[in-house]
Amino acid sequence: MTLAELATALGCSLDGKGAADITRVAGLEDARAGDVTFLSNRKYAKHVAKTRASAIIADASLKSAPCPIIRSKQPYVTFAEALALLTPKRLVAAGIHPLAAVDATATIAASASIGPFVAIGAGSTVGERTIVHPHAVIGPGVTIGADCVIHAQVSIREDVTLGDRVILQDAAVIGSDGFGFAKRADGAHHKIPQVGRVVIEDDVEIGAHSAIDRPAVGETRVASGSKIDNLVQIAHGVKIGRRVLLAAQVGIAGSTTIEDDAVFAGQAGAVGHVRVGKGSIVTAKSGVTHDLPPGSAVSGFPAFDLKEWKKATVAFRRLGRPRRAARGRRKR
């Protein structure tokens, strides 16, 4: 499409001529003629002057560029929309592959696509336009909504519910048994049956090799719009709010509640039975051991206020300085 057509499709104004043909999106340094690039982080503004792109997506703070500018109030969002428009979509044929094993009592929408070696259990439902890639396993009594994408090797256990537009990356496990054991008098660990359910609401994405456990009673729930990275563990009975972001290797222990819009950076975690307030931020490798009020920003283990943590880190690094100075004076 032409640059003018792309700007119109994106709902943006265009500074400059719009006749150039645009074929793909590329980074500032890698872009060439026919590409549209973007600037969403001022750290990379120094590369704008040398870009060879045919256009750049930027906000009003960019005063000039060697190419036309697509003006956007949210350049990173517009970049994502342009990428979707310019990337050829892989067409997947509707229907059930002859090598799939689908129980006779399962209900598969006519527009859904079920790949080879997929197994679907009794009484399960797969919604319109949902794509299930090879080797996925869907247990009995599962409900999957419309426009979902279930990638290879995913396991969706019995009685799990997925809303619409859910994406499960390769080898994610939804509805695995929670880690629940009762200690006997003789010291043996007696397994508690994990018979609760897991509910994944609309527009959730779950990364590769992540696991979301079912509880013994009640439910584990991930609310709409939340995004979960690879290698994340969500334990039994956890409640994840709307638009929550959990980066790689986060671990959330049982019966904890993460309220709307909270963010856990990589390898952060929370103990069980705590509440993390709306909009809170937990920085990388931090551990939450107590309730956090809404809007908290915490670091460290145990996690405490981010500003105080920064001060403590500076103080910690200074602890040895008086001793080193005293040794220096003695030598003189």
Give domain limits for the chain. Answer: 3-86, 95-308
* Helices and strands of the chain, counted as H and E runs: 4, 38
Decide: 298 and 316 in contact? Cβ < 8 Å.
no
pLDDT at 18: 95
Task: Characterize the bridge pairing of strands 257-258 and 281-282.
Answer: unpaired
In this structure, which CATH number among 2.160.10.10, 3.20.20.70, 3.40.50.720, 3.40.50.2300 belongs to the domain 95-308? 2.160.10.10
The residues facing 71 across adjacent strands are: 13, 58
Determine the Cα–Cα distance for residues 194 and 215; give it in Å rounded to an integer: 5
What class, spelled out in words, does domain 3-86 have in CATH?
alpha beta
pLDDT along the chain (332 residues), means of 10: 96 96 95 96 93 96 95 96 92 95 98 98 98 98 98 98 98 97 97 97 98 98 98 98 98 98 98 98 96 96 83 78 60 60
Respond yes or no: is residue 236 known to be catalytic. Answer: yes
Decide: 222 and 199 in contact? Cβ < 8 Å.
yes
Per annotation, catalytic residue among 47, 236, 273, 290: 236
The residues facing 70 across adjacent strands are: 14, 57
Residue 25 sits at the vertex; the CA angle it makes with 19 and 30, to the nearest 5 degrees, is 105
Residues 6+ apart with CB under 8 A from 317: none
CA 329 remoteness from chain centre: 55
pLDDT at 173: 98
Determine the Cα–Cα distance for residues 309 and 301; give it in Å rounded to an integer: 10
Distances (CA, A) of 284 to 117, 142, 153, 201, 296: 39, 35, 29, 26, 15
Count CB atoms within 10 A of the CB of residue 181. 11
- Burial of residue 174, with CB atoms counted within 10 A of its CB: 0-12 exposed, 13-18 middle, 19 or more buried: buried
